[in-house]
Amino acid sequence: MTPVTITARDGLSLPSYLTLPVGVEPAGLPLVLLVHGGPWSRDSWGFNPAAQLLANRGYAVLQVNFRGSTGCGKDHLEAGIGELAGKMHEDLIDAVDWAVKEGYADRGRVAIFGGSYGGYAALVGVTFTPGVFAAAIDFYGPSNLVSFLRTVPEFAKPLLVNNWYLYAGHPDDTEQEADLRARSPISRVDRVRAPLMVVQGANDVRVVKAESDQIVDALRARGVEVEYLVKDNEGHGFVNPENNIDMFRAADRFLGRHLGGRPDTQ
């Protein structure tokens, strides 16, 4: 894992991390853009099991602290206000362009993979920029920002004032509700061309199962390939080892089919 700084199209510096497979020439590789959750979180240098697994399978892995990420200063954080599916996503696209321009990545073999906000980013990737990604994996990400914010548990809603309501909008405000819908992947399902894998915990109260159900149903109705994995004994993020193993094995094979990595055959 190597720290790299990528410059966004508007000049903002994006602290990022590039992980490359060992013993493979770092040129023209299939790339997985691994997007952190939150989005009020950050990627940092250190052991990351998902990044190491993917590198072991022959992928370059790129993790980007896009605007809105924490730990990069107040200006970087506040640059994400109002930018869901906007400049926050453009940062990720700029990072992919950087990896291709630097010669690390094959433009035609790029996938996006993330959980929670990262899952939302994966869905945005295949709906707002359908020509960029050859495959996507959404791990418990919201597909409809309006229904997502309305189904947050009541005890947690006061905590949304300084994050989701500030950065994205309030669903009870008519104008902001319209903007939330416009920034929701469910509003652009007709643009999806890439194969998608969706993973969800049935007991998730933060991003409820209906968020995954609605986009899976909409895409399958259009004949788009969707692999859907649901675990009944999981909530927001998997904690049971056997379920994490199942999820990563399924992701491994999914990416192998669509990006040409070397999945585990066991």
Question: What's the pLDDT tens digit per position in 67-81?
Answer: 999 999 999 999 999
| Cβ contact 60:21 at 8 Å | yes
> pLDDT value at position 261?
80
Residues with Cβ within 8 Å of residue 214, at least 6 apart in sequence: 143, 144, 147, 186
Task: Compute the mean pLDDT over every residue in the chain, rounded to the nearest whole number.
Answer: 96
**Run of H or E residues at 163:** none
Instruction: Please say whether the structural domain 2-259 has been given the CATH code 3.40.50.1820.
Output: yes
As a whole number, mean pLDDT of residues 161-176 equals: 96
The residue type found at 39 is: P
Q: Per-residue confidence at 262, pLDDT binned at 50, 70, 90?
A: confident
* Residue 69, phi then psi, degrees to nearest 5: -70, 155
- What is the DSSP code (8-state) at residue 237? B
> Euclidean distance between the first and final Cα of the chain, in Å?
27
| CB of 122 closer than 8 Å to CB of 134 | no
Cα 228 off chain centre by: 16
Nearest alpha-carbon partner for 63 in 74, 51, 52: 51
CA distance 95 to 101: 10
> Percent of the chain scored above 70 by pLDDT?
98
pLDDT (0 to 100) of residue 266: 46
Query: Which residue do the tokens 């990416």 mark?
Result: 255
**Token duo for residue 62:** 């790129």
The per-residue pLDDT for 264 is 60
pLDDT band at residue 225, thresholds of 50, 70 and 90?
confident
Examine the pLDDT at 265 and tell me if it is beyond 90.
no
Q: Say how far apart CA 74 and CA 84 lie, in whole Å.
A: 17
Cα–Cα distance between 45 and 180 in angstroms, integer?
A: 33
Distance from C-alpha of 174 to C-alpha of 82, rounded to nearest angstrom: 16
Report d(CA 212, CA 141) in Å as an integer: 7
What is the average pLDDT across 145-172? Answer: 96
Beta strands in 116-235 (DSSP E): 135-139, 196-201, 226-231
Counting beta carbons within 10 angstroms of the beta carbon of residue 131, is it exposed (0 to 12), middle (13 to 18) or buried (19 or more)? exposed
Would you name the residues annotated as active-site residues?
A: 116, 204, 236
pLDDT reported for residue 263: 62
**Rounded CA separation 16/1 (Å):** 10
Which residues lie below 8 Å from residue 17, measured CB to CB, with a gap of 6+?
1, 2, 3, 4, 43, 44, 45, 51, 62, 63
Domain range summary for the chain, segments of one domain joined by +:
2-259
